Chains A and B, each alone.
Chain A
Amino acid sequence: MRPDLRILLPVLSLAVLLALVFWLQPRAMSYRGLNLLFNLAVPIALATVAQMIIIMVNDIDLSMGTFVSFVACVTATFVHDTPVIGYLMLAGAVLAYAAIGALIQARDLPAIVVTLGMSFVWAGLAVLVLPTPGGAAPEWLRTLMTARPPFVPMAVIAAALIALVGHLIVMRSSFGVLLRGLGGNEKSVAKAGWSPVLLRASAYGLAGLFAVLAGMTLVGLTTAADANIALRYTLLSIAGVILGGGEFTGGRVSPVGAVIGALTLTLAASFLSFLKLSSDWQIGAQGAILILVLAARLLFARRARA
């Protein structure tokens, strides 16, 4: 698929869903309404970009949800009480992510197994840091996430900013080109004299950084944490990447698409809730929306090839 087509479909699905939500619930068509619809999508968008960076280098991260939960627990405890130690811990977590990437490349391990194992490590650490739900959001984070800028709600600005920064790093910088090359053709990147271990480590480190931001913004929204707070993010982030036009192999991803994918998933849940659909049907209906979009993408791709 051509890059412009890759982004067209996610934009269209988001627009259609948004129109449906506005039609069902006109109150959503306001500054406050948009903020309520999308503010919880901000951490999901960050986690989706993190997952996208992992998928970009042909891997998949099954520990995203527990890692974001762990970061949320650290943010609500150490970053709030003793900021220096808290930020050091978060920096350590990013380094740990980079080390996992290096290990996967150096020992040629399957990422799906390593990250599944790590998910238990992060879950355990989260419970250690915060055994019972609680903690508090750092003041500046709370202020940032509840800010009311003029005209455009914070949630929309944040989503646009994440998409822009993701786009600049992944699509426009030479670093991004190298990382995509690692996913597209590892051998040629290695032949050009770049160390695949170093590259995969930096890809994981970058993903870890975005995931840390996801956990921090989540705490800014919820004001407190809980060791299970973001377990859903693993599957949401993978679905968001694919919904946003990304592919599991070959370094073919789109940061703007990933952010739009995350927004679409959040919106789909709200849409089903406004429809007053029984909860027994909601998971199935969410899946149906996903399949619908992917089917449309296949059709687009065939037409483009023809």
Chain B
Amino acid sequence: MMNCKTFALAATAVTLACSAAADTSDKRIALSNNYAGNSWRQAMLTSWETVTGPAVSEGIVAAADAFTTAENQATEQAAQIQNMILEGYDAIVLNAASPTALNGAVKEACDAGIVVVSFDGIVTEPCAYRIAVDFKEMGRKQVEYLAGRMPDGGNLLEIRGLAGVFVDDEIHAGITAGVAEFPQFTIAGSVNGDWAQDVAQRAVAGVLPSLPEIVGVVTQGGDGYGAAQAIAAAGRPTPVIVMGNRQDELKWWGEQRDANGYETMSLSIAPGVSTLAFWVAQQVLDGASVPQDLTVPFLEITQDGLDEGLASTPEGGVANVEYSLEDAKAVIAGAN
């Protein structure tokens, strides 16, 4: 690959030719997925198909098969990983049902010389690579944005995710840190929206009567539209609600902007992170030096990018971005 890089400066076409001739053309990569039952996971699987399909037909890798367990259970996924070892895959890309319960199977895979790259639902086994999202920063950033919009501060409503899940704890910790950094804000109330619009709407409607005036709503994604509906139904002025990249949220935001110039921001993890994991696995197989822990930036939609984000997000879906080999190299270089 070294001599390819010098050519690549001259022409992009050469890069393609070089990657097609890379050492990974006979390597097979499998995706082990534990759940496919929501729009985010569906988008994740579609992205995997979109990016790995051409990669296989161009001969960059020999195969990139996606497997989803029939039930969302760690023991099922452990068995699935062991079957992949038996099938002789060279790398396993993994969205794990549990950060710890798959460690035994992951260790078996590593011992068999298989590269394991976990993303989104990461595993703690040291031999695996982890592509994590900085969920804490996702929480802190929301408060920072609100501080930019409203220097005087005020009361915030926090909508949390599913209680007891790692992601919920992390985003909440980030929001708490954000409020400590910008003390002009106080969290006046907190409800669990379970990352679902209908649950969030019910929870917000229930807590609203007991709350003082709210200037902002900090969220975790999948709950902004429900919050907006509940607040409108209560006849209160609409606060700045941070959105989470879901299509219904972006659509509502667009309508409000056109009607009264409403401004906010939207951020969430892109389901296409599965494709980043694919390229990272390919790079490891190619012999690149990759640190065990990588952080992927979250996908942010600003006021200016709203139309573009809305146009590219399918009805009922999630704003997405798919990663290329170059993006993966940039992420790896940034971490090295």
Contact = CB atoms under 8 A, between A and B. Distances in A.
B98 A226 contact: yes
A289 B71 CA distance: 17
B209 to A, nearest CB: 32
Interface bin, chain B: 35 or more
Interface string B155-194: 0000000001010010000000000000000000000000
A279 B68 contact: yes
Contacts of A241: none
Interface string A214-232: 0000100111111011111
B259 interface: no
B98 A223 contact: no
Interface bin, chain A: 35 or more
A232 B75 contact: yes
Contact of A269 (B65, B79, B98, B164): B79
B284 interface: no
A224 B101 contact: yes
A293 to B, nearest CB: 19
B76 A274 contact: no
A133 B80 CA distance: 20
Contacts of A105: none
The residue among A33, A40, A135, A279 with the most chain B CB atoms within 10 A of its own CB is A279
B255 interface: no
B99 interface: yes
Interface in A175-232: 218, 221-226, 228-232
Contact of B98 (A36, A229, A266): A229
A28 B86 contact: yes
A283 B70 contact: yes
A172 interface: no
Contact of A223 (B88, B103, B169): B103
Contact of A40 (B69, B79, B100, B124): B79
A245 B291 CA distance: 52
Given A131-B164, A132-B166, A226-B74, A36 B100 contact: no
B299 interface: no
B40 to A, nearest CB: 17
Given A131-B164, A222-B103, A40 B71 contact: no
Contacts of A279: 36, 67-70
Contacts of A270: 79, 83, 86
Contacts of A127: 164
A222 B74 contact: yes
Contacts of B69: 279
B326 interface: no
Contacts of B71: 232, 283
Contacts of A25: 86-87
Interface string A240-268: 00000000000000000000000000100
Contact of B99 (A133, A228, A233): A133
Contacts of A218: 75
Contacts of A102: none
B202 interface: no
Nearest to B165: A132
Contacts of A27: 86-88
A256 B166 CA distance: 41
A274 B83 contact: yes
B141 interface: no
A276 B105 contact: no
Contacts of A37: 82, 86
Contacts of A233: 75
Interface in A114-140: 127, 131-135
A26 to B, nearest CB: 10
A273 interface: yes
Interface in B305-324: none
B87 A274 contact: yes
A229 B75 contact: yes
Contacts of B206: none
Contacts of B124: 134, 224
Nearest to A272: B70
A147 to B, nearest CB: 14
B100 A135 contact: yes
The residue among B83, B166, B169 with the most chain A CB atoms within 10 A of its own CB is B83
Nearest to B88: A27
Given A223-B100, A224-B100, A226-B100, A232 B73 contact: yes
Interface of A: 25, 27-28, 32-33, 36-37, 39-40, 127, 131-135, 218, 221-226, 228-233, 266, 269-270, 273-274, 276, 279, 282-283, 286
13 contacts: A25-B86, A25-B87, A27-B86, A28-B86, A36-B86, A131-B164, A223-B125, A229-B98, A230-B75, A270-B79, A276-B65, A279-B36, A282-B70
Given A222-B78, A279-B68, 8 more contacts: A39-B82, A132-B166, A218-B75, A223-B104, A223-B125, A225-B100, A274-B83, A283-B70
Interface of B: 36, 65, 67-71, 73-76, 78-80, 82-83, 85-88, 98-105, 107-108, 112, 124-125, 164, 166, 169
